[in-house]
Structure 1
Amino acid sequence: MRVPSRSPGHRSGPPVTPARRRPWSSGRLSATVGPDLNAYRDAVAELLVEVGALAGASSTKARQVLIDQRLREPALAAVLDATAQGLIGARETLLLEMARYQPNARSSAGDLAALVRIYLLSRIDVMWWRESATFLTDPEVHHSTELVDLEWLRRRDLLRFRYTEQPRTVVGRGVRALRRRVRPDAMPRTAGLLFCRARREVVALLNDIGREFAAATPAGTPPLWVTSLVRSAEHQYRLRRLGYAAMVPSGHCLGWAADVEMDWFGRFGVRDTLAGLLLTRQRAGEINVVDEGQAWHICAAPSATLRLRRAYEAEMGV
């Protein structure tokens, strides 16, 4: 059974950062060659302790000095310098994010340390995929032949994960609000997907995790729930204006990242099970994981894409 993309073609435009879209391949940026990601994650964890100790408003200058010094250390600099922004660009962006930071209920960054963690760990994504071009606009996402229609797959029971689509009308939002009042715990509290589309490799990855999660949890546990997938840069900036911790550049805008619900599964006693499955895959070099609180951000590694593409084609009969 061939799975159509239902797309008339891809409209390209100038990328947000210097990049070019390449034909699909198994990934030229191997997760096993390059910076030591374990050392990078350890260095980020150490930095977060120091940032937490300088959380007060009076410590702004001390935080700037700390960030400037620590990001130049080899374990951190190796990853940041390998991104399209480079070390200096990444440093300046992080300092600007910290200067602008205002805690709010929508943001996954509950404090400054969380903001630094989300930003720095998500740089692994943009390092891996630095030669992929950004989906700049909403129409690019809707019409890209690199993405497939999730609704087409869902109706044919080809997905091993769940999601909800973002309501597009006042009536739809009203119905969603009523359902939440009547059954507040029936589904995660999420706005839903604006774009019900994804890369084939990401579909295969989420299906794989979904099957593993189902096998590791008791009968009656809800399936893996995905709260975010591909986004346009246009939408990323909309989220930023609304107060979300939507980093730029982002693996979501490159099409290689997804967010999976975590906290909701705590009521079923399986949150730690899902966390363990994701971290095991990270240790194997297959994905990058960023703890964003209610949801965890994951991004496929280039070294995993050949296996994932083959898995998608085998599963879908392409």
Structure 2
Amino acid sequence: MRVPSRSPGQQPGPSVTPGARTRRRAPSGLPHRLPAAGPDLDAYRSAVADLLVEIGALAAASCTAARQVLIDERLREPAIAAVLDATPQGLVGARETLLLEMARYQPNPRNSAADLTALVRIYLLSRIDVMWWRDATTFLTDEQVNGSPDLVDLEWLRRRDLLRFRYQEQPGTVFGRAVRAARRRLRPDATPRTAGLLFRRARREVVALLNDLGREFAASTPPGTPPLWVTSLVRSAEHQYRLRRLGYAAMVPSGHCLGWAVDVEMDWFGRFGARDALAGLLLARQRAGEVNVVDEGQTWHVCLAPGARRRLRRAYEAEMGV
């Protein structure tokens, strides 16, 4: 199933030719599809895509009441209700949260939701993450993220050449921010336009997933294409609310605050003719049932499925020799 486009009138999915789609296979080492458990996610994504078209047709400010009626009706459809009812908030809580997010929505350059349609898409598709990991413990504070034994230090791995992806940290000082700004002025397209990671920590299974994707991406793109670039990993709930206050579309609850979600850069790779290749790899993993993918514009949100956890933990231990 393809991810809905962020333009309400477009066909869902990335701009990949039909022939390219039919030739894609599941990534190496994966079953063709992990065993299904719980609601039908293909039906859910299809129903969300249909809802987005209708939301796009009611984009005017005068259509607020009509949008609410539409949300009330569509969220009760069996394909959508089955997923939302399986989240910790339940169907009623998810509906109220979505309506509140829509009422508060204000477009701004920091917000990955370019319009109300994108906001609804991001919220509803990210509920799959929350359903999957409803029993996981949230990292509430920055201290919990930095002190958790369930997370590994990416910098320690990077220095030992054990990562197949790149990232950059947020500058911690005024001087560091000034240096970053000067580099961006001198070479504006040398790196993605992202604030960088506040926490350079990740779950072992997520590292294995990103290394798998990084190797496949490098093998499927022309020489000179930069490696896979990660813009966000684990976040604390404390930091999630901090982002919301700054105007970002940081959903609550979030797979990031459970440690199972990441954001990967997409638009920057269009400069190298590699965006569609990366989209194809991510969607192949989604079709195999290993991840959930949400198009957030410049970046795509990727959350690991519980069914893939054991395989990726074994892959991490084999790769790191532990």
Normalised to the residue count of structure 2, the TM-score between the two structures is 0.89
Aligned twin of 2:138:
134
- Say whether residues 1:194 and 2:198 are aligned partners: yes
1:278 maps to which residue?
Answer: 282
One of 101, 104, 125 as aligned partner of 1:100: 104
1:260 aligned partner: 264
Note the C-alpha offset of 1:245: 0.3
1:159-238 maps to which residues of 2 (within 5 A)? 159-238=163-242
Question: Which amino acid in the other structure matches residue 298 of structure 2?
Answer: Q
Partner of 2:317: 313
Separation (CA, whole Å) in 2 of partners of 1:152 and 1:85: 37
- Give the drift of 1:220: 1.0
In the alignment, which residue of structure 2 is the partner of 1:54?
58
Question: C-alpha offsets along residues 79-107 of structure 1, whole Å, 9 cap, x if unaligned?
Answer: 00000000000000000000000000000
Which runs of structure 1 show a deviation greater than 2 angstroms over 4 or more consecutive aligned residues?
none
For 1:231, what is the secondary structure of its paired residue?
A: coil
Q: What residue in structure 1 maps to residue 118 of structure 2?
A: 114
Distance in 1 (alpha carbons) for counterparts of 2:129 and 2:35? 10
Question: What is the alpha-carbon distance in structure 2 between the residues aligned to residue 312 and residue 33 of structure 1?
Answer: 24
Compute the displacement of 1:202 (Å). Answer: 0.2
What amino acid sits opposite 1:179 in the alignment?
A: R
Q: Distance in 2 between matches of 1:57 and 1:125?
A: 30
Secondary structure in structure 2 of the residue aligned to 1:296: strand
Q: Distance in 2 between matches of 1:80 and 1:306?
A: 26
Structure 1 residues 41-76: Cα deviation after superposition (integer angstroms, max 9, x where no partner)? 000000000101111111111111110110000000
Alpha-carbon separation, structure 1, partners of 2:232 and 2:278: 17
1:46 & 1:31 partners in 2: Cα distance?
26
Aligned to 1:15: none
SS in 1 for 2:293: strand
Provide the rounded CA distance (Å) in 2 between the counterparts of 1:208 and 1:95. Answer: 38
In 2, the alpha carbon distance for the partners of 1:108 and 1:119 equals: 11
Distance 1:35 1:233 in 2: 27
Query: Which residue pairs with 1:17 in the alignment?
Result: none
Shift in Å, 1:31? 6.4
Task: Name the counterpart of 1:22.
Answer: none
Distance 1:188 1:256 in 2: 22
Structure 1 residue 70 corresponds to structure 2 residue 74 = yes
Q: RMSD of the alignment, in Å?
A: 0.7
CA deviation profile, 1:90-144 (whole Å, cap 9, x unmatched): 0000000000000000000000000000000000000000000110000000000
Gaps of 5+ in 2: 1-33
Range that drifts further, 31-40 or 124-133: 31-40
In the other structure, the counterpart of 2:5 is: none
- 3-state SS of 2:37 partner: coil
Distance 2:189 2:107 in 1: 25
Match of 2:159 in 1: 155
Aligned mate of 2:247, from 240, 243, 248? 243
Corresponding residue for residue 30 of structure 2: none
Return the offset for 1:305.
0.3
**Equivalent-residue separation in structure 1 for 2:218 and 2:277 (angstroms):** 10
Which amino acid in 2 is paired with 1:134?
T
Gaps of at least 5 residues in structure 1 are 1-29
Q: Which one of the candidate residues 90, 93, 108 is aligned to 1:89?
A: 93
Instruction: For 1:179 and 1:144, locate their aligned partners in 2 and report how far apart those are by CA, in whole Å.
Output: 33
Q: Alpha-carbon deviations, 1:224-282, whole Å to 9, x = none? A: 00000000000000000000000000000000000000000000001000000000000
Q: Distance between the aligned counterparts of 1:272 and 1:290, measured in 2? A: 15
How many residues are paired up?
A: 289
Between the aligned residues of both structures, percent identity stands at 83
Q: TM-score, normalised by structure 1?
A: 0.90
**Which of 19, 30, 44 is 2:48 aligned to?**
44
Task: Provide the rounded CA distance (Å) in 2 between the counterparts of 1:154 and 1:131.
Answer: 31
Q: Residue 107 of structure 1 aligns to which amino acid in structure 2?
A: N
Q: Secondary structure at the match of 2:295?
A: strand
Deviation at residue 219 of structure 1 after TM alignment: 1.1
